[in-house]
């Protein structure tokens, strides 16, 4: 069986606050092959790493990311809600994560969070930062906004773009090929033998999300997916060591 890559969902978010440098460092220490993270643009156009369109859930602040400047975002505590030991963790800039990735030789799965609010120029800014660090060959771009992925592909044809989706789509491998994507990132309950077979025949990489149960991980390992996106890096690492 080919090696299945482990992508740490928002970092090792089972043990550290999601999308923080603490979570990314913990993922690297736990043996993850790559980091999954989410990017938005601040009011002043900086690429910041956070999942939600607002800061309300994960920080001590309130408001939409796109309506706050970088300085305002950086004042927020993104760690205390997870645990007192993480007090003072900040919302990272994308380039801060890349510095860690370059040092640890990790892969990146960058989700462009522009399916609810448009971020004009997000694709160009992310591509520029990745290119500056020389990480284009180790980066996957994913999004629920498939128009955004098409723009990525138009600007950088050799880039790995991955369609995110939740539904039980009919022949998603054919849709991905039509859309110009090179990978699919389906919600894990939609993964079937037919999907795995279709992706293999179309030459697509298959990386389900967000898989946190040992039983489900085992099934996906048996099916032969290319990677698994998980909050629980340690659990998946142990299961893969047994196969």
Express each pLDDT in 150-209 by its tens digit: 999 999 999 999 999 999 999 999 999 999 999 999 999 999 999 999 999 999 999 999
- What is the span of the domain harbouring residue 179? 5-242
Provide the number of structural domains found in the chain.
Answer: 1
From residue 120, give the alpha-carbon distance in Å to each of 43, 56, 151.
Answer: 12, 23, 11
Residue 217: band (very low, low, confident or very high) from pLDDT cuts 50, 70, 90? very high
Q: Output the average pLDDT for the chain.
A: 97
The predicted pLDDT at position 2 comes to: 63
Residue 240: band (very low, low, confident or very high) from pLDDT cuts 50, 70, 90? very high
Q: Using N-to-C axis directions, what is the helix angle for 94-104 and 21-30, rounded to 10°?
A: 20
Q: Which residues are catalytic?
A: 9, 51
Q: What global pTM score does this model have? A: 0.97
Residue among 112, 183, 186, 177 at smallest CA distance from 151? 112
The predicted pLDDT at position 79 comes to: 98
Residue 43 has pLDDT above 90, yes or no: yes
Contact 233, 6 (CB under 8 A): yes
CATH value at residue 207: 3.20.20.190
């Amino acid at each position: 069986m080919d090696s299945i890559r482990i992508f740490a969902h928002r970092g090792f978010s089972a043990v550290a606050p999601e999308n923080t440098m603490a979570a990314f460092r913990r993922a690297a220490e736990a043996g993850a092959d790559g980091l999954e993270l989410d990017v938005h643009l601040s009011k002043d156009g900086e690429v910041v790493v956070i999942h939600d369109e607002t800061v309300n859930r994960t920080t001590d602040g309130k408001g939409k990311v796109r309506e706050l400047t970088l300085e305002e975002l950086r004042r927020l505590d993104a760690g205390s809600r997870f645990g007192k030991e993480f007090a003072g963790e900040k919302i990272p800039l994308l380039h801060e994560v890349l510095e860690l990735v370059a040092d640890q030789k990790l892969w990146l799965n960058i989700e462009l969070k522009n399916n609810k609010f448009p971020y004009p120029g997000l694709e160009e800014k992310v591509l520029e930062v990745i290119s500056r660090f020389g990480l284009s060959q180790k980066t996957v771009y994913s999004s629920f906004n498939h128009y955004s992925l098409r723009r990525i592909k138009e600007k950088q044809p050799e880039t790995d773009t991955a369609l995110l989706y939740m539904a039980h789509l009919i022949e998603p491998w054919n849709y991905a090929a039509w859309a110009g994507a090179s990978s699919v990132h389906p919600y894990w309950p939609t993964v079937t033998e037919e999907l795995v077979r279709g992706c293999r025949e179309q030459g697509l990489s298959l990386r389900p999300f967000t898989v946190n149960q040992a039983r489900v991980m085992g099934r996906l390992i048996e099916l032969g997916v290319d990677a698994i996106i998980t909050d629980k890096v340690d659990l998946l690492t142990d299961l893969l060591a047994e196969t």
